[in-house]
Structure 1
Amino acid sequence: MSAHRFVFVGMLVSGALTLVGCAPSGPTVATFEVAGEQTYKIELATPELIEHARELLDGSTEEGRIPVGRIVRDDPSVNAPWSWHIDPATLEFADATTEVCDGLPEYVEDGTLTSDYYCPWIAEVIAIEGPGAD
């Protein structure tokens, strides 16, 4: 192989590594607005959850509009400035839920909502950020 081919191959490898380094990193996160008043964020841990959130955002589905997940208290994760987050491994989207887990994000924050799960009935996806958001 000539010296020119080594240089060209080296440039290709270097370029590929640069592109990999430019790929978005971190979790894909959906922002929800609840009752037009407050927002909170949930990490979307699977391609299926990302796709469903995208469909909710663009209005192409009416099914499974209610995000449901276990509350992890005293750890904001992607949900700062709130002091809690939803465990991404427990996230599901439902058509209906029990009233005990419904409410505003501030109800989780101040302890008014005592359930281990959060399921705001009037939540709407308003943004998706991170890898897979496109």
Structure 2
Amino acid sequence: MSKTRRAASTGLAVLLSAGAVAALSGCSPQADAPLTRAVATFQVVDQSFKVELATPELVEHAQKLLDGEDVSAIPLGTVVRGDASVNEPWTWHIDPATLEFADFTTEVCDGLPEYVEDGTVTSDVYCPWSAKITAIEPLAD
């Protein structure tokens, strides 16, 4: 075998081996890419609700919350009633275009997810003060 052919063969073997290791370890260039859109799950007392994180900045902020960093923690956004979107089994969701995180809000938009469901929270905005983020998942397209 010529030196050129042996070098090409060796190079191919190294590339294939690296690819096999990456495949077996679950690593891939996309696996390490930051999420640009996701769904965050929040716990409010003994109930949970989900919110779409529509921008990389919101995903990053939610990840900081999940990591325990001291950042604005109250999810705040406009309620869209009659459409669960990512927030099943509830019949409402937060409009992702209006979602932000606040340090404090007015009491009129605070409450349990069931209070939004049954109309006890009459505000068009929901801002549960005791919400704690519990998970971030990639948004299924």
Quickly name the TM-score band, shorter chain normalised.
0.7 to 0.9
1:101 aligns with one of 104, 109, 114: 109
Q: What amino acid is the match of 2:47?
A: Q
Work out the CA distance in 2 between the residues paired with 1:82 and 1:57.
23
Match of 1:29 in 2: 39
Select the residue among 25, 29, 51 that pairs with 2:60.
51
Residue 7 of structure 1 corresponds to: none
Q: Give the TM-score normalised by the residue count of structure 2.
A: 0.72
Tell me what 2:77 maps to. Answer: 69
Report the AA paired with residue 82 of structure 1.
W
Looking at CA atoms only, which structure, 1 or 2, has the larger radius of gyration? 2
Q: Indicate which of 122, 129, 132 corresponds to 2:137.
A: 129
* Structure 1 unpaired stretches of 5+: 1-18
1:40 and 2:40 correspond: no
Deviation at 1:77, TM superposition (A): 0.1
Q: Distance in 2 between matches of 1:57 and 1:84?
A: 24
SS in 2 for 1:122: coil
Greater relative contact order (Cα < 8 A, sep 6+): 1
- Percent identity over the alignment? 67
**C-alpha distance after superposition, 1:30-63 (max 9, x if no partner):** 00001x31000000001110000000001022x2
User: Aligned equivalents of 1:65 and 1:28: distance in 2?
Assistant: 17
Q: What is the root-mean-square deviation of aligned Cα atoms in Å?
A: 2.4
